């Protein structure tokens, strides 16, 4: 019993940390994308947004505060990726212990329900071609990808995992979740990679965030 309780407790604690990281990240994104108190344009989360059209530092925002928030956001993204790897390994450990206990006819203790998929976008859609499988599946240029089959922010490996899923799923539907804008409501879509008149089997480009 003690061996089972330990990974289960770790799993719950890891998921609590995941929720905390994602909440802090979303707060930073909302802050950086909000206009100033006098209606000034938002600073944004990319480096180009802290200068004006002529390349000069903007005088209507606190550049030090903006850079500090962006740095914190990048740190949190890296922390989340590392945490998701640990969380998934612990989740597998919990299920393994539960199966072993069941095979030994011991009383079954259900594993906690944990959402082991990050809600942090990890890629954006660019170069979406008309009438492509991606377009027919409902994707829009600029969509933020939250998950692509079982690929998410914690395991996409610089999008190589996404490419592997696409390659292995030609002719079969792939479930994915996207946001139309930062902080927007997630949308569930289904696209089927397949040969068509254009290039590739999806007809769009995924760019890491």
> What are the tens digits of pLDDT across the range 154-179?
888 899 999 999 998 999 999 999 99
Distance CA 15, CA 163 (A): 27
Q: What pLDDT is recorded for position 114?
A: 44
Which whole number is the average pLDDT over 95-102? 62
Distance CA 19, CA 177 (A): 18
- Domain layout of the chain by residue ranges: 2-103, 123-208
Which whole number is the average pLDDT over 49-67? 70
Residues 6+ positions from 46 with CB-CB distance below 8 Å = none
Which whole number is the average pLDDT over 34-62? 68
Element (H, E) at 75: helix 63-103
Q: What pLDDT is recorded for position 4?
A: 45
Residue 81 CB neighbour total at 10 angstroms: 18
Point out the least confidently predicted range of 7-11, 59-63, 97-101: 97-101
Is the pLDDT at 98 greater than 70? The verdict is no
**Which is more confident, 202 or 96?**
202
DSSP string over 189-206: EEE-----SSSSSS--EE
Confidence grade of residue 102 (pLDDT, cut at 50, 70, 90): low
Highest mean pLDDT: which range of 52-56, 83-87, 174-178, 183-187:
174-178
Is the pLDDT at 111 greater than 50? The verdict is no
Q: What pLDDT is recorded for position 83?
A: 81
Look at residues 86, 142, 139 and name the one whose alpha carbon lies nearest to residue 114.
86
Look at residues 130, 168, 163 and name the one whose alpha carbon lies nearest to residue 145.
163
Confidence grade of residue 54 (pLDDT, cut at 50, 70, 90): low
Confidence grade of residue 130 (pLDDT, cut at 50, 70, 90): very high
Mean pLDDT of the chain: 79
Look at residues 39, 53, 46 and name the one whose alpha carbon lies nearest to residue 67.
46
Contact 101, 109 (CB under 8 A): yes
CATH number, domain 123-208: 2.30.42.10
**DSSP helix/strand/coil, 84:** helix
Q: What pLDDT is recorded for position 106?
A: 45
């Amino acid at each position: 019993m003690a061996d089972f309780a330990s990974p289960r407790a770790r799993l719950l604690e890891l998921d609590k940390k995941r929720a905390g990281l994602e909440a802090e990240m979303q707060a930073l994104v909302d802050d950086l994308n909000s206009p100033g108190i006098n209606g000034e344009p938002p600073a944004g989360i990319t480096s180009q947004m802290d200068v004006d059209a002529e390349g000069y530092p903007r005088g209507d925002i606190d550049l030090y505060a903006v850079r500090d928030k962006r740095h914190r956001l990048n740190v949190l993204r890296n922390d989340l990726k590392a945490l998701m790897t640990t969380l998934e390994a612990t989740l597998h450990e919990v299920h393994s212990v539960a199966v072993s206990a069941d095979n030994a006819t011991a009383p079954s203790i259900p594993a906690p329900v944990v959402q082991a998929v990050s809600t942090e976008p990890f890629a954006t859609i660019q170069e979406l071609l008309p009438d492509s499988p991606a377009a027919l599946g409902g994707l829009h240029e600029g969509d933020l990808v939250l998950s692509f089959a079982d690929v998410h922010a914690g395991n996409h490996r610089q999008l190589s995992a996404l490419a592997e899923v696409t390659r292995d799923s030609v002719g079969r539907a792939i479930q994915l979740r996207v946001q139309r804008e930062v902080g927007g409501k997630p949308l569930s879509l289904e696209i089927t990679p397949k040969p068509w008149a254009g290039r590739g089997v999806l007809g769009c480009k995924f760019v890491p965030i």
